[in-house]
Structure 1
């Protein structure tokens, strides 16, 4: 399955349906904003986000075992490793779909829509069930490059959160703390909606926003910063389950809006 390239003015987005429906590249004025390569770019997370503790989902009558792929935990869902089907495409928009299959035990479907404009990219994702109800989460995991041009200043983050989730063994405990200093691999609460700016001084600003109230921020690696809006916190299938039913699908949206601080060329 070939990549899909969206274009709007001087902005280009490369979408790779065969590689987990991810954005393989976001190029603004010829400059790559995302870290390239397998596992990077920006990938969708579903039917869960972040880590699910010990790979177990605790349902009222039984536990569901998920594949362990991050220490003792299951991380970032299954659809990032699946091939997505393109359902519609134009010069500036693409729609894709991915069936939920094993190892996820509940039958459902994830759809994703991306729409590009010269000043922003709109993303949306929806989880529906083919039969019975099940808990689910959705989100996006972009890897923004720390530097856009060799020798240029490194990216900084700007945001205000109501709280930071305490974590033990990488899992939120439910205790809400004041926001601590970086570096972070942490979940933050923003009840008014996610709003995080990635700023490359003198070059570019990207504002990641979403009506969702949870975001994971990761900046522990030198090559990237991650701003991950999510419909629930890590381990949320257990701590804050959102139940998808036939009449009540799970839907989430996000916008990345950019502003040039000077020419990135």
Structure 2
């Protein structure tokens, strides 16, 4: 059974049985969330907007060392641990738009993840937190899949105001160094200076704000785009240069605000590329 939050401009559908993920988000009547068409993408992470907790992105070889003790985490087809332990679990409903999930082994600590959805006049605010009553490392984030094409209007265009980019090695995982942003397509992590904006000409302009400057951008698929706020880059546990200066953040929020656009002729609908502003 799914839960629905709605007002005059927004309709959000949440499925507590699938990680309390957002399975649908209509802004001004347009469905902006989608599903990955690539059959190589695990169906458990292929749609909607789901929580990543108590880690976000990949951990190399599923190997995590905390306090000198090595812990093994579940790995995917690529041999790395991916996106935490909450995205395909059943979450408990606490109140309208509020959910929680207890998470423990194989993670080295026991904690509670809390996920909250709140309607805005023009969008939705999502908050994710992790509390294990320790100072142990953790990274958390939110993973939305956006459609490149809506029911009307032109294909999506997105722009990133990036300060730096996390360098990836030949295996696709971070090297621990930061570098100048390069042109896409991307499956990369950036530190952004301002909120990313996705525009579907003639339909909706979507502004994504978050409490963290770190965003993973995945725009390689032909049908979808992912812009994922994370409290730290993927695999930050093994790379001091990617870790926070102080305590590891225990929470993240993201706001998705939509503005209706005037329809435009098909031949003026724009391109489908992402652009960097530096």
TM-score with structure 2 setting the length: 0.84
**Where in structure 2 are the equivalents of 1:168-183 lying within 5 Å?**
168=169, 169-183=171-185
| Secondary structure at the counterpart of residue 44 of structure 1 | strand
- Distance in 2 separating the partners of 1:32 and 1:87: 27
- Distance in 1 separating the partners of 2:54 and 2:185: 27
Alignment partner for residue 48 of structure 1, among 37, 46, 55? Answer: 55
- Distance in 1 separating the partners of 2:77 and 2:255: 28
| Secondary structure at the counterpart of residue 68 of structure 2 | coil
- Distance in 2 separating the partners of 1:164 and 1:23: 28
- Distance in 2 separating the partners of 1:206 and 1:36: 18
* 1:260 correspondence with 2:260: yes
**Where in structure 2 are the equivalents of 1:1-265 lying within 5 Å?**
2-36=1-35, 38=43, 39-89=46-96, 94-130=97-133, 132-149=134-151, 152-168=153-169, 169-190=171-192, 192=193, 195-239=195-239, 240=242, 250-262=250-262
Q: How many residues align?
A: 253
Deviations 1:15-69 (A, max 9, x none): 0011111000001233211015853011010100111111111224121111111
Unaligned runs of 5+ in 1: none
Q: Is the contact made by 1:135 and 1:243 (CA closer than 8 Å) also made in structure 2?
A: no
Distance 1:13 1:70, change over 3 A: same
Q: Is the contact made by 2:27 and 2:258 (CA closer than 8 Å) also made in structure 1?
A: no
| Secondary structure at the counterpart of residue 212 of structure 2 | coil
Aligned-residue Cα RMSD (Å) equals 2.2
| Secondary structure at the counterpart of residue 195 of structure 2 | strand
User: Cα distance, 1:249 vs. partner?
Assistant: 7.1
TM-score with structure 1 setting the length: 0.88
| Secondary structure at the counterpart of residue 134 of structure 1 | coil
Unaligned runs of 5+ in 2: 37-42, 265-278
User: Cα distance, 1:167 vs. partner?
Assistant: 0.3
- Distance in 1 separating the partners of 2:245 and 2:128: 16
| Secondary structure at the counterpart of residue 17 of structure 2 | helix
User: Cα distance, 1:244 vs. partner?
Assistant: 11
